[in-house]
Structure 1
């Protein structure tokens, strides 16, 4: 019997290989191949809730009718005159050797809205300037999310804030995200959030200016691990619109390895990233360094299995605060929740 023609052998081999490829793809999660959200390399799990079912305390979420790039462009174009920084978490994760679905935080500020809130409670500077998170979830839905007024009101003592400042900020965000997505972002109640919860503080032995300089030097000394900082002089921004504010400077910086671990566990944590440290002085001149406890952020976003990363972040932030405060033995003091209820450099990756 004559052997098959060589061209038939090639066709048979091609069909066989295509069939094997189809079987291989069927055995895998297609979204994992496209978005790279397999967490086996670091032992964690992706707890990012579907955008349509997100229930993070104090987070208002809208599902976009557009794709990721279009939604992000809509947010950035509407806030370009107030932009502080745009943080591409996916790019930062890639630099850390990790994969992440598209996830970007846009930070912007209207001092007419933020200054009265910081004046009422300087700690509010940790959650201001305003941030909008744009991300694509595992169902390929695109969402835009922000920390809302209910959260700010629960976490800070804003009783003495200028009337209408908090509601005005919330209305601005609702309109911005609604216009960009074509969806109502909803209320996002701040269930379980107490006043001062998750905020660590260290009293500084240095002046305000020296504390800021020491903090920036401490970050720069770790440039192999930390991204270049962005500083937001909140007092200067307030003064620019004729408002008075005690000295207050927020310093933002990326920690690509640990930030990416949190984001891979839950993309919504991007609304609380990058890392932030606030240096604030009161009317008597007393200077305090504030920062978010990473375990609080993890709890807010239902992050499990990242204890090593959370501990590493907690140690890092405590060391930075101590160095900024002028004492290597300074101890962070957690704020006890109330149970009764302007040189701005672009953020960069290491």
Structure 2
């Protein structure tokens, strides 16, 4: 975890170390034996239930063995029928769910779940929407364990995209634009309302995760994807958009004062400012950060942001801030000497 000092390893006896090495050697030999069996089966194009079981045993030991996942999909495609498709795919979804409890950041597990769901939609369309909705529950549970698991967040966005596409299909609406960008396009009102509810649910979810922990870059990032399309779908005027941004600034300011050293808050703040960098906005945010900087004089994020926004004032509104920006960059060299070269480049 960030900002948590690592604990020194507890020394163990030589006898315990020898037992550990013996166990690891035994595990390695098991994996090598299973890998050899799977490789031989694939070489002779074995696409049977026994071959499927062989990949299960190997992947239980090493879920990052992507070739085994590829082989497993070849087997499933060979043995899937109209009668067994739902059962076999559901079994693989259960399998990956079990593996994810222990290995939540293994890409190939998330990737295989995507393949399972797409295949289920192709083979048993009537079961797809219910399963995608269940997936939201699964990924929500995973994000309860680790709210900043970016693979979980990426997967959640993909699942929501599939639900949105399915709903458009149900309403006989054709669109090549993915969710949530499709909300900014000219689609029928009924479809827009259905997808708008989905987007607002995601905004509410991301805010819940932020309120639990401001240091959640993925949750902040989720909001950057949703606001524009949602406001477009609601046909918001610039005045309404300004009001929404002001509410968002209030949330971000809470985060700044709660944990001024957290990078994710400052990155989101910069995104928010850049959506409408009016002179009034820049002046207000510079004043807020200046006040915080007085409390946190060595905080590099405060100093960086002040330098960036004052430079924008100079570029956009011809306000002479060059000497102030140069002074802030010089201060950054003092508080963040590891990036001295970068700050000197910016000064020139």
| Same fold per superposition (TM over 0.5) | no
Range class of TM-score, shorter chain: under 0.3
Which structure has the greater CA radius of gyration?
2
Where relative contact order (Cα < 8 A, 6+ residues apart) is larger, the structure is: 1
Greater fraction of residues in helix: 2
TM-score (norm 2): 0.25
Greater fraction of residues in strand: 1
